[in-house]
Amino acid sequence: MKIAIPIFDRFTALDAVGPYEVLSRLPGATVHFLAAEPGPKRTETGMLALTADLALDELTSPEIVVVPGGFGTRELMGDEQILDWLRRAHETSGWTTSVCTGSLLLAAAGLLDGLEATTHWLALDALREYGARPVERRVVEHPEARIITSAGVSAGIDMALTLAARIAGDELARAIQLGIEYDPEPPFDSGSTAKATPEIIALVRGASGRLA
């Protein structure tokens, strides 16, 4: 089972690595990081790079697609190379998925037209501009369309566990969850706009160039 994670300059690290940690544990899975051109792609902070071993046109029919987000997605919204690859990959994929603002690329490719979808809370309005119906949920599934979108950054782990269950069953997904010891107990309860104070929300909006 070939799993494709396209990366690009200024992607968010956990958007890609979180799902990788889950999906790479599926039986028979091989995870491929790919890009328009092979080579290192740096995260939005510039402090970390992942290497794309394949070009997009070297893997056109993956079984699973996971599109991470990050500030680099903004520069790709009109990039027909990545958008056309997404359209073609989705024609044969079992599931096409996204994390954070990766859903903006799915929407720009026309894959979310009329569908409920989610993304980072700061980017929800942008989804509507591209024909999707934005909702504030952690994970949004459309089995009939073979599409799953997830909210910001850490939600990609939830999405990947959801996907693992759809592919290999709940028991294996639970085993993967235990294997990576994913049992969040954050020191603060401010991980969504429904829980954070107005002051914290304002702080994040003001610093969105660094925090989202």
Residue showing tokens 């079992």: 94
- Of 11, 77, 82, 105, nearest to 50 by C-alpha is 11
Cα(14)–Cα(68) distance, rounded to whole angstroms?
A: 8
SS3 for 65? strand
Whether 139 is catalytic is no
**Cα distance between residue 90 and residue 46, in whole Å:** 30
CA Rg value for the chain: 16
Instruction: Say if residues 69 and 103 touch (Cβ distance below 8 Å).
Output: yes
CA separation for the pair 119, 85 (Å, rounded): 21
Q: Which of 100, 155, 157, 159 is catalytic?
A: 100
> Which residues form the catalytic set?
100
